[in-house]
Structure 1
Amino acid sequence: MSDTAHRIHAVRPNGRSADYLRQIGAKRPFAPLLPIDEVMIAAFTETLRAPGFWACERSVDILRDRLQPRQTIQDAVFSPAARLAGAYWSSDVWSFLDVTVAVSRLKRLLAQEARQNHQAPKIGARSILLSAAPGETHDFGLHYVALAFERAGYAVDLRTGADEAELMSALVMHRYDLVGLSLSAQCLLDRLTLFIGSVRNRDKTRDVLFLVGGNAFVSCPEYAACVGADFLATDPDTAVFLAQLRLGSHAGREQALAR
């Protein structure tokens, strides 16, 4: 077993994880609420593959009480749980099926958070189309990006499993300020380049800005320019910040050209 796996086992709680978290929740009226720690994250991560989705939801409710000021459940619980699930898989602690079930449930929890915290965008709000790049199957991180843009007041159109034809149809039918595409597999870079190029060649879509992110660009940021993107972001908050900067300057150019 690898060093990572040994460290993982060191923080895993004894007994059933859901029971461990229920015991923490039961202490709430009588003890101060301690910050979320590694053992709590490990317990929550275990519930993601346990029978019954209700255990995941109950665990989220328990951990939500322990959020610190300005923390979100996504950043404090879901993100570290996703990283831990990946570590379990790479260290042969979990099977591929375990990870698949866990990621599916995390997506479901993220969707619930989005529905509960959803606020209709204001009239005239900036809009963004978010999708995995054509051919890409990994779209978990897009849910975090969508939540970040919604919190910033954007009208978000999140599409999972969309191909070139669906994305192009959406771009022709609706006017988006920004398109965000995520890519993990570098073997799909040429396909993404062709898609962005085809969008640029259409009169109705040539002015849209392209944001890219994902593992394909982490080690080689220069790939963002190669595929024709306007900018690259490595995390949701940075994506929103850069979008605000780029859209502001883009609007200025449009106004200048209109004069």
Structure 2
Amino acid sequence: MYVIDHRNPDTAPDRQHKGICVLVEAALSSMVAARSGPVPARVDDWVRELTEALMAESETLHLRVVAALRASGVGGDELFERYVPDAARLLGEYWVQDRASFVEVTVGTGRLQRLIRERGEAGHGTPDRTVPLGQSVLMVVPRFEDHSLGAFVAADQFRRHGIWVHVAIGLGGAELSQQVMSRRYAMIGLTGGSLKVLEELAGLVDALRTDARPSVPIVLGGCVVALTREAGRITGVDHAVSSVREAIARCGLVTVAGALSSGAA
């Protein structure tokens, strides 16, 4: 049970596996050359291949797929804004559909988290932190959620838009209440991985509304949004979204790109 402040990368746990991103970049040519089989032509096919590789016994197969993606012309931002989130969602779908074991999904989740953390540590895609946007969001991973990957993916994307992020994982009622009241958040985000958590999410939303300022929007993301159109109504959130960009737009958050565009105008 902890809170990670993404303004301070030293608070993030597990700083092992240094150099993964460097390894990916440096090994592009050799890994692609060693890769067998046809090259996927569609995004969905790439995502499926990446997801399967994340769960594989091989410790480097997913890095080979990432390298092949980069060699095919996919940039770093596109990789982490499109392919990684889609792979995370597919891992969740595999778990819900019983197409992957708990161990496989956990291994895949851990590998994605390491890629995301390494990208942040390397400074790739990280905006100038001196830009005084002054906004922060709270990403809540409830105790009844099995995995926190979706929150880490979202946190990375928010951060690269110039928004500070706090990730609260497994906090109890009193701890979460204290966290919500201790800062002026511009948004509170929740993640849901399956339909079975909808009722518990609704109770959590009620508790958050008691502690948060009335103007703070509560947003729901994760696999549960794709599983039912009623997720927003059932849980009582202000918005049920399928991407970080949608959350930013719905909540009217200011990003680095938006601030620069406004200044230029």
Measured in 2, the distance between the counterparts of 1:225 and 1:39 equals 33
- Structure with more contact order per residue of length (Cα contacts < 8 Å, sep ≥ 6): 2
Match of 2:14 in 1: none
In the TM superposition, what are the counterparts of 1:9-158 in structure 2 within 5 Å?
22-25=30-33, 38=45, 42=49, 45-46=52-53, 48-52=55-59, 56-57=62-63, 60-61=66-67, 63-68=69-74, 72-75=78-81, 77-79=83-85, 81-82=87-88, 95-116=101-122, 117=124, 118-119=126-127, 120=129, 122-158=131-167
Contact 1:134 1:192 in 2 (8 A): no
RMSD: 3.9
Measured in 2, the distance between the counterparts of 1:69 and 1:157 equals 27
The 1:48–1:95 alpha-carbon spacing in structure 2 relative to 1, beyond 3 Å, is: closer
Measured in 2, the distance between the counterparts of 1:161 and 1:74 equals 25
Query: Which one of 191, 194, 209 corresponds to residue 200 of structure 2?
Result: 191
Measured in 2, the distance between the counterparts of 1:124 and 1:245 equals 10
Compute the TM-score of the two structures, normalised by the length of structure 1: 0.65
Amino acid at match of 2:80: Q
After TM superposition, the structure 1 stretch with the greater mean CA deviation from structure 2, 210-219 or 169-178, is 210-219
Measured in 2, the distance between the counterparts of 1:181 and 1:61 equals 32
Contact 1:121 1:155 in 2 (8 A): no
Contact 1:21 1:59 in 2 (8 A): no
Match of 2:169 in 1: 160
Compute the TM-score of the two structures, normalised by the length of structure 2: 0.64
Q: Is there any run of 5+ residues in structure 1 with no aligned partner, and where?
A: 1-18, 28-33, 247-259
Match of 1:241 in 2: 249
The 1:241–1:148 alpha-carbon spacing in structure 2 relative to 1, beyond 3 Å, is: farther
Shift of 1:130: 0.7
In the TM superposition, what are the counterparts of 1:207-246 in structure 2 within 5 Å?
207-244=215-252
Shift of 1:199: 2.9
After TM superposition, the structure 1 stretch with the greater mean CA deviation from structure 2, 193-202 or 69-78, is 69-78
1:60-80 deviation line (CA, Å, top 9, x unaligned):
455434333685222454345
Measured in 2, the distance between the counterparts of 1:139 and 1:100 equals 10
Contact 2:133 2:163 in 1 (8 A): no
1:105-128 deviation line (CA, Å, top 9, x unaligned):
112112222333334263342210
After TM superposition, the structure 1 stretch with the greater mean CA deviation from structure 2, 111-120 or 58-67, is 58-67
- The alignment-based identity, stated in percent, is 23
Measured in 1, the distance between the counterparts of 2:94 and 2:217 equals 37
Measured in 2, the distance between the counterparts of 1:86 and 1:186 equals 12
Q: Which has the larger radius of gyration?
A: 1
